[in-house]
């Protein structure tokens, strides 16, 4: 078999790359048939015992990668990863899959010549494009942007089997100094710090941060194994079981069979629901768990370690640093932080890691903007076609979205560049982005299609508001209107509490009216603070999803804001939703009671008679059992609940509306017994002065 120049060079480079502990990023441009044939033949010339493949035409011995099974392969390695970009370029999958390539391995991208490629459609991004765009013919801007970034990187470029840009080889990294089973000094330091949480003062959590591949998850497993030898029982939680697999596998390899049960994975919602106890709680990928959940875990567990990825592919962790760590400053003074810098499987100057970080904007450091409240802040509107001419602003916007929202992913960057129905509205001062909002232009469906959605015969990709209005709210005619959905809104954390987010929403409302938008909408995992923010800005709730988000444990809410819409029609929708929610609270067993009070509305209640009020007065004085007057208390509460103190509102709503069990109620409000709680309610009722006939 004749050797090809490309694979002949790769054969020479592979051994050198292994010695330097780097991966080889290689891009080969050319004719599809020629490149594919050359690759299938040339793989026999290099070390490709474990071959992973993205795209079509994979050989039989290759592991075909897809988004569906990428989590199942976490922790595995390959000698060669081939990306056949002729069949599409899935940005999310490609960014994540680079982590599979081991030191001395090859990352090989097969693609058309750059000039031709950037003019072609990218069918791999079909799930990012809304109806009616056809991904097979749509020419987006992500590929041109990505190629511009690529050509600034340290990468071996081939064109028609000729090397046109060689790799700039980094220096040999010094050997790692660590004690087995740890691989780096950073990892050993992390394991020591985790064990110190167990032996040190209570209520002093540890936060471990790292980029991918630094061994933080393995450190959790190694430390848990050491603690198991001391008969300590450790629990680990994470956004998904797969996210905890690395820690669990290291633990399993290090402990004796009889100690295997000393580390258990428990989903965080179950931890909170069942009030699980453990000597130590480990939380992996903590940035993908919402702050309210983390705060509850801190309250429940006195010894806890949080580990998170700072520049991950499943959502970045930079917002976690600012939001949650502020909570630790207040509630857990003396908490510790460790950052793992040294890579485990390859050296710090690994060219593939640098390529992935920079081409997908995963390593952008967003500097705190210099904001002057006395100077005018301007706004700008960007769409997909604008970003190639404004790369600096794009980097600021994507960094800000990553900082502010735990679920921001590489596919969101691809959407900004490829989806012509997305708008980004920025608030800027002195060429600095202070805040931004991501808007999806939706609706405008034909009447026939809107009816099909209403009857459940069609789902329309990229039109969440129209789908909700037509199907869930039975208003198909509204799906025919032009709608704007606020997908994300972000203000730099150091500039929050200065009304900049509200200013952005005011700008959006003005622009929407100018563009003949029927109404604005938004959908998000709801909590009390977010609900108040949107209500303050004139948005009303019209739907609450029954299931909770796996990552946030929050219900998804849909809220609307009238532009050219009939305000009375939207108000009627809100009232209908509030009354329906009150009647169906049994379908929301975990819904926060404060949200129940903010969203639900009972039907109008008749005033109690004098005799009935006297019964409640006797209950409040401790002279009537609760069971005898519960129906009267419920009727009275439905009429007067907004006049009561916040504490009494919460207690009675949980008791009468949500019908929580007594064990739930005692945990929720910190009472020792039902008798003590009812006595407290009685005292508050007496102090309220409302157990009197209506004037």
Distance CA 585, CA 599 (A): 11
Beta bridge partners of 307: 208
In Å, the largest CA–CA distance within the chain is 102
Contact 151, 29 (CB under 8 A): no
608: left (phi over 0), alpha (psi -120 to 50) or beta: beta
- Check whether 490 is labelled as a binding-site residue: yes
Cβ neighbours of 365 (radius 10 Å): 7
Q: Which run of H or of E encompasses 12?
A: helix 5-20
Q: Give the Å distances, CA to CA, from 366 to 27, 646, 683.
A: 30, 40, 53
Burial class (CB in 10 A: 0-12, 13-18, 19+), 263: buried
Helix (H, G, I), strand (E, B) or coil at 540: strand
Q: Would you say 187 is a known binding-site residue? A: yes
Tokens of 53: 């493949």
Q: What number of residues does the chain have?
A: 695
- Of 40, 45, 53, residue with least CA distance to 9: 45
Cα–Cα distance for residue pair 654/592, rounded to 1 Å: 9
First to last CA, the chain: 100
Is 384 among the annotated ligand-binding positions?
no
Query: Was 659 annotated as part of a binding site?
Result: no
Q: Which tokens belong to 202?
A: 């209570």
SS3 295: helix
Token output for 11: 């054969």
Note whether 331 and 310 are within 8 A (CB): no
Residue with tokens 């009616």: 132
CA–CA distance, 89 with 103 (Å, rounded to integer): 24
**Cβ distance 250 to 221 under 8 Å?**
yes
- For the record, the structure tokens of 138 come out as 């749509």
| Start-end of H helices in 479-538 | 500-514, 528-536
- The structure tokens listed for 449 are 């299609």
Long-range contacts of 131-139 (CB under 8 A, 24+ apart): 131/460, 131/461, 131/462, 131/463, 133/419, 133/420, 133/421, 138/418
- Residue in the structure block whose two tokens are 């969101």: 412
Half-sphere exposure for 515 (CA within 13 Å, toward CB): 17
Across the beta sheet with 304-309, what order do the strands follow? 263-265, 234-237, 280-283, 304-309, 206-210, 336-340
Q: How far is CA 103 from the centre of its chain?
A: 30
The answer to the question of whether 155 is labelled as a binding residue is no
Q: Both tokens of residue 263?
A: 């580390």
Distance CA 236, CA 234 (A): 7
Whole-number Å distance between alpha carbons of 402 and 394: 12
Residue ranges of the annotated binding site are 187, 345, 489-491
Binding residues for acetyl-CoA: 489-491
**Residues of the binding site for ATP:** 187, 345
């Amino acid at each position: 078999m004749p050797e090809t120049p490309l694979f002949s060079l790769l054969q020479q480079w592979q051994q050198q790359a292994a010695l330097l502990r780097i991966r080889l990023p290689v891009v080969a441009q050319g004719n599809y048939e020629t490149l594919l044939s050359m690759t299938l033949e040339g793989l026999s010339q290099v070390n490709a015992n474990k071959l992973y493949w993205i795209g079509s035409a994979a050989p039989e011995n290759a592991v075909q990668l897809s988004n569906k099974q990428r989590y199942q392969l976490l922790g595995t390695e390959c000698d060669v990863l081939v990306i056949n970009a002729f069949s599409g370029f899935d940005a999310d999958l490609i960014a994540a899959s680079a982590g599979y390539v081991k030191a001395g391995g090859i990352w090989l991208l097969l693609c058309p010549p750059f000039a031709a490629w950037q003019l072609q459609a990218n069918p791999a991004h079909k799930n990012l494009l809304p109806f009616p765009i056809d991904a097979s013919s749509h020419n987006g801007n992500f590929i041109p942007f990505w190629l511009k970034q690529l050509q600034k990187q340290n990468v071996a470029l081939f064109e028609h089997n000729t090397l046109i840009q060689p790799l700039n080889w980094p220096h040999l990294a010094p050997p790692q100094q660590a004690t087995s089973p740890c691989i780096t000094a950073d990892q050993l330091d992390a394991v020591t710090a985790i064990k110190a949480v167990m032996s040190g003062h209570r209520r002093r959590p540890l936060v471990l941060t790292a980029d991918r591949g630094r061994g933080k998850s393995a450190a959790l497993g190694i430390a848990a194994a050491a603690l198991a030898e001391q008969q300590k029982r450790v629990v680990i939680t994470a956004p998904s079981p797969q996210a905890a697999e690395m820690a669990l596998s290291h633990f399993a390899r290090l402990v004796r069979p009889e100690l295997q049960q000393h580390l258990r994975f428990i989903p965080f919602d179950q931890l909170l629901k069942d009030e699980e106890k453990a000597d130590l709680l480990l939380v992996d990928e903590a940035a993908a768990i919402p702050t309210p959940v983390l705060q509850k875990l801190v309250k429940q567990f006195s010894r806890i370690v949080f580990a998170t990825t700072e520049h991950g592919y499943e959502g970045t962790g930079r917002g976690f640093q600012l939001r949650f760590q502020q909570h630790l400053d207040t509630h857990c003074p003396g908490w510790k932080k460790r950052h793992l810098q040294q890579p485990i499987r390859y050296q710090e100057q690994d060219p593939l890691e640098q390529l992935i970080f920079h081409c997908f904007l995963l390593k952008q450091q967003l500097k705190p903007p210099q904001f002057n409240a006395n100077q005018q802040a301007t706004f700008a509107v960007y769409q997909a076609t604008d970003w190639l001419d404004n790369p600096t602003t794009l980097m600021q916007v994507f960094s800000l979205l990553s900082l502010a929202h735990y679920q921001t992913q590489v596919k969101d960057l691809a959407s900004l560049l490829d989806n012509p129905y997305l708008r980004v509205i920025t608030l800027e001062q002195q060429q600095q982005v202070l805040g931004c909002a991501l808007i999806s232009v939706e609706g405008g469906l034909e009447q026939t299609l809107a009816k099909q959605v209403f009857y459940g015969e069609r789902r329309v990709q990229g039109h969440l508001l129209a789908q909700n209005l037509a199907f869930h709210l039975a208003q198909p005619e509204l799906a025919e209107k032009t709608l704007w959905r606020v997908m994300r809104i972000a203000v730099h954390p150091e500039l929050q509490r200065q009304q900049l987010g509200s200013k952005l929403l005011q700008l959006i409302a003005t622009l929407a009216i100018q563009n003949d938008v029927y109404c604005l909408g938004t959908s998000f995992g709801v909590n009390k603070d977010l609900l108040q923010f949107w209500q303050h800005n004139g948005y009303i709730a019209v739907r609450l999803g029954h299931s909770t988000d796996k990552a946030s444990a929050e219900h998804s809410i849909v809220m609307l804001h009238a532009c050219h819409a009939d305000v009375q029609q939207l108000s009627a929708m809100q009232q209908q939703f509030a009354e329906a929610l009150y009647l169906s609270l049994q379908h929301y067993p975990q819904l926060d009671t404060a949200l129940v009070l903010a969203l639900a509305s009972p039907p109008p209640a008749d005033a109690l008679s004098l005799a009935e009020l006297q019964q409640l007065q006797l209950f409040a004085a401790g002279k009537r059992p609760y069971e005898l007057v519960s129906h009267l208390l419920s009727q009275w509460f439905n009429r007067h609940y907004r006049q009561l103190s916040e504490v009494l509102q919460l207690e009675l709503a949980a008791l009468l509306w949500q019908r929580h069990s007594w064990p739930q109620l005692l945990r929720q409000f910190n009472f020792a017994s039902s008798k003590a709680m009812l006595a407290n309610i009685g005292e508050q009722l007496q102090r309220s002065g409302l157990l009197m006939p209506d004037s």
